[in-house]
Amino acid sequence: MRDILSLFFAYAKSGLKSRFQYKLDAIVATFAVFLREAGGIIAMYLALLKFDTINNWNIDELLFLFSLIFITYGIFIVFFMALRDFSDWIRHGDFDRVMLRPRGLLTQLVLCGADWLAALGHGTLGIVLFVISASRVGIQWNPAMAVYYIIAVISGVLIQGAIFLFFSSISFYVVETGSLKEIFYWNMRKFAIYPLSIYNRFIQSILIFVVPFAFVNYFPAQFFLRKADMAAYPEWLMYISPVVGVTLYLLAYSFWRFSLRFYKSTGNG
Amino acid sequence: MRTMQTAKNIIEVNNLCKTFKIHKRATGFKGALKDIFHPTYEWKKAVDNVSFSIHEGEMVGFIGPNGAGKSTTIKMLSGILYPDSGDMQVAGYVPYKQRKEYVANIGVVFGQKSQISWDLSPLDSYEVIRHIYRIPPKQYKENLARYTELLDMGSFIRQPVRQLSLGQRMRADIAAALLHSPKIVFFDEPTIGIDVVGKDKIRKFIRTLNQTDNITMIFTTHDMQDIVKTCERLIIIDDGQKLYDGSLENVKKGYGSSRIIEAEFESLPISLDLSHAVVSDADNSGLKKRIAFSTDEVSVNEMMSALMNTHNIKDVSIREPEIDAIIRDIYEGRIVMN
């Protein structure tokens, strides 16, 4: 464990050091991420002023739902950025170098790929949203709830990591997976901004069974908010995010192990 | 020469094969459309039944034209690619099965793909490498000091890599591949794009290191001078198959018996009726001729006197074929290797 931590810090130190070779760009990048994402929220906020509630969720509750996306994504890009951009790693030959080093492949990819500044942008926004909304939605915090919240966040990170581990494994066969990610991640994420219950059966099923984004924010948020629309789903769905996260990750991991042998590397033969 | 018989094999490769499925792309818009619905594939044997063994401490040049299969072979040897069939044992490991344990024993230098960060100094990158390989502090310090000196890196080791010359960057990259004291080092085009002085520094360093540390080294390169200046043994590969495996000397001796005489004659007409020789014009004047022959059939002496007895010669030069020319002949099938 100490060894893993020291490797993580060595990667982080060199990553930040090279990012801060261009100080202005680094600082602007952090704000740019923050402002870009905050812009989206402000737009939603303004639209919501007209509606008052969506499926009985008021704006603060929606922001709480939202904050989980940003907080999990902020942590996600600390650990899974290399997997998010894995097609590039293959295409540029960087994955060859990973294979030439005496450490687990995923150990290296997970520890080395952090985009700290984007993480700071997303994370700060998530925390700001959380702080604003959590105090206004009437959650009675107790230690058990705090623990559940932390577990829910970790699960959300793991679910998104697993989704990208699937995409990365597919890269071994087809290299470029940009459109797949667009359809099965980024679009699903856009859906997850609103309560699951507003969608038709088909999209709900996808968000529960195929790309289980519902377990990243909707069901964990329901644990705290207990909105009436939860009645449409079995109550235990609020508790199984960790199970979904771990199961999905293990599935993705075995698919990764299986697919590795199909890695073709780049170059001229 | 090292004692070939007693040295133990560090690399053993038997009947190695690797086939790639290649998408054959059609041309034109119609072809591109057809491609989407009915893609056609062909199978390319990148490595076709290749076997060889290399002893500890040997320095081997691995050459072949583009697409010959040398990169694929090196990638299998270094644990990056799974072979389709065949056996491999390198430093006591099966690379693709025991990748993590195995790669701690090797270093790989890609001339075209640096392993040190563009925006960091070599020293910063070495720090990360130290952690990845878990290099003990004492060994790290000693190696770093030694390679800084041998590769003359003192003046730029703290500068961001983007400010370095290609030759400096390459030296920094070579040191990066050696910090963990590997038993085998693979060099993939280590001098590409570097000027003559830079190339020389790198070759000299590699030779020194091989002699002092007994590190096994495998080179792939297009620059025959890399091989001539460093290796004793040569493996030539083309179309996925091994064409030649033996000493560099042998290539020169066995296939280098041809000579070319370039002669400038005093006046026309020139009537050369030489058996065992091929005569061609060396320029447009008609006065300069190139006479190619093999010393196995006629000696240089005989050829010269045959010329001088019949004509007045103003100037003459005799050349041995260069290693590049021999290799080109081997690739193009003009020389058949046994």
Mean pLDDT by 10 residues, chain A (269 residues): 90 89 85 87 82 86 92 94 93 92 95 87 92 88 93 97 96 87 90 93 95 96 93 94 97 95 70
Spatial separation of the C-alpha atoms in residues B306 and B276, rounded to whole Å: 12
B72-98: pLDDT as tens digits:
999 999 999 999 999 999 999 999 999
B184-188 and B106-110 beta bridge pairing: parallel
Q: Which amino acid is at B313?
A: I
Would you state the pLDDT for residue A206? 95
DSSP, res B337: -
A178 has a chain B CB within 8 A of its CB: no
In terms of CA atoms, which chain B residue is nearest residue A7? B131
In terms of CA atoms, which chain B residue is nearest residue A11? B128
Would you state the pLDDT for residue A267? 55
In terms of CA atoms, which chain B residue is nearest residue A261? B82
What is the radius of gyration, based on Cα positions, of chain A?
Answer: 19
Pairs of residues, one from chain A and one from chain B, whose beta carbons lie less than 8 Å apart: 85
Q: Which string of b and e fits B152-191 if b means at least 16 CB within 10 Å?
A: ebeebbeebbeebeebbbbbbbbbbbbbbbbbbbbbbbbb
How far off is chain A from B91, nearest CA to CA, in Å? 15
Would you state the pLDDT for residue B3? 45
B contact residues 155-214, partner A, Cβ 8 Å cutoff: 160
In terms of CA atoms, which chain B residue is nearest residue A112? B128
B contact residues 29-48, partner A, Cβ 8 Å cutoff: 44, 46
Residue-by-residue DSSP string for B212-260? HH--EEEEE-S-HHHHHHH-SEEEEEETTEEEEEEEHHHHHHHH--EEE
Would you state the pLDDT for residue A87? 92
Question: Between A6, A10, A18, which is nearest B119 by CB?
Answer: A18
Question: How far is the CA of A57 from the CAs of A208, A218, B110, B160, in angstroms?
Answer: 20, 12, 57, 53
State the Cα angle at B109 between B108 and B112, rounded to 5°. 135
* CA-based nearest residue to A85, from A168, A19, A170: A168
Residues of chain B positioned with their CB less than 8 A from the CB of A10:
127-128, 130-132
* CA-based nearest residue to B175, from B217, B212, B113, B126: B126
Contact A21 B100 (CB under 8 A): no
Regions in chain B scoring below 50 on pLDDT: 1-4, 338
Question: How far is the CA of B192 from the CAs of B125, B170, B198, in angstroms?
Answer: 22, 9, 10
Q: In what helix (H) or strand (E) does residue B86 lie, and over which residues does it extend?
A: strand B85-90
Spatial separation of the C-alpha atoms in residues A142 and B82, rounded to whole Å: 53
How far off is chain B from A258, nearest CA to CA, in Å? 12
What count of Cα atoms within 13 Å lies in the side-chain half-sphere of residue A239?
4
Q: Tell me, letter by letter, the H, E, C secondary structure of B104-159.
A: HHEEEEECCECCCCCCCCHHHHHHHHHHHCCCCHHHHHHHHHHHHHHCCCCCCCCC
Would you state the pLDDT for residue A43? 86
How far off is chain B from A2, nearest CA to CA, in Å? 12
Residues of chain B positioned with their CB less than 8 A from the CB of A102:
100-101, 103-104, 132-133
B8 has a chain A CB within 8 A of its CB: no
Structure tokens at A262: 């199909």
What count of Cα atoms within 13 Å lies in the side-chain half-sphere of residue B196?
0
Spatial separation of the C-alpha atoms in residues A108 and A101, rounded to whole Å: 9
Q: In what helix (H) or strand (E) does residue B20 lie, and over which residues does it extend?
A: strand B9-24
End-to-end CA distance of chain B: 23
Largest CA distance in chain A: 63
A contact residues 66-95, partner B, Cβ 8 Å cutoff: 93
How many other β-carbons are positioned within 10 Å of the β-carbon of residue A253?
Answer: 15
How far off is chain B from A10, nearest CA to CA, in Å? 6
Mutate to test the interface with B, among A6, A7, A14 (most CBs of B within 10 A): A14
Contact A101 B68 (CB under 8 A): no
B63 has a chain A CB within 8 A of its CB: no
In terms of CA atoms, which chain A residue is nearest residue B121? A18
Contact A21 B66 (CB under 8 A): no
B108 has a chain A CB within 8 A of its CB: yes
A120-152: pLDDT as tens digits:
989 999 999 999 998 898 888 899 999 999 999
Spatial separation of the C-alpha atoms in residues B231 and A4, rounded to whole Å: 40
Q: Which string of b and e fits B42-65 if b means at least 16 CB within 10 Å?
A: eebbbbbebebebbbbbbbbbbbb
Question: Between A7, A264, A268, which is nearest B132 by CB?
Answer: A7
How far off is chain A from B270, nearest CA to CA, in Å? 49
Residues of chain A positioned with their CB less than 8 A from the CB of B78:
100
The percentage of chain B sitting over the pLDDT mark of 90, rounded to a whole number, equals 43
Spatial separation of the C-alpha atoms in residues B300 and B307, rounded to whole Å: 11
A3 has a chain B CB within 8 A of its CB: yes
- Quick check: ipTM above 0.90? no
Q: Which residue, chain included where needed, has tokens 């700290």? A: A116
Spatial separation of the C-alpha atoms in residues A124 and B334, rounded to whole Å: 69
Residues of chain A positioned with their CB less than 8 A from the CB of B81:
263-265
How far off is chain A from B21, nearest CA to CA, in Å? 10
Q: Which amino acid is at B174?
A: I
Contact B117 A102 (CB under 8 A): no
A179 has a chain B CB within 8 A of its CB: no
Residues of chain A positioned with their CB less than 8 A from the CB of B20:
264, 269
Contact A14 B118 (CB under 8 A): no
A266 has a chain B CB within 8 A of its CB: no
B136 has a chain A CB within 8 A of its CB: no
Spatial separation of the C-alpha atoms in residues A111 and A182, rounded to whole Å: 25
A contact residues 21-40, partner B, Cβ 8 Å cutoff: 21-22
Would you state the pLDDT for residue B20? 86
Residues of chain B positioned with their CB less than 8 A from the CB of A88:
none
DSSP β-bridge partners for residue B278: B292
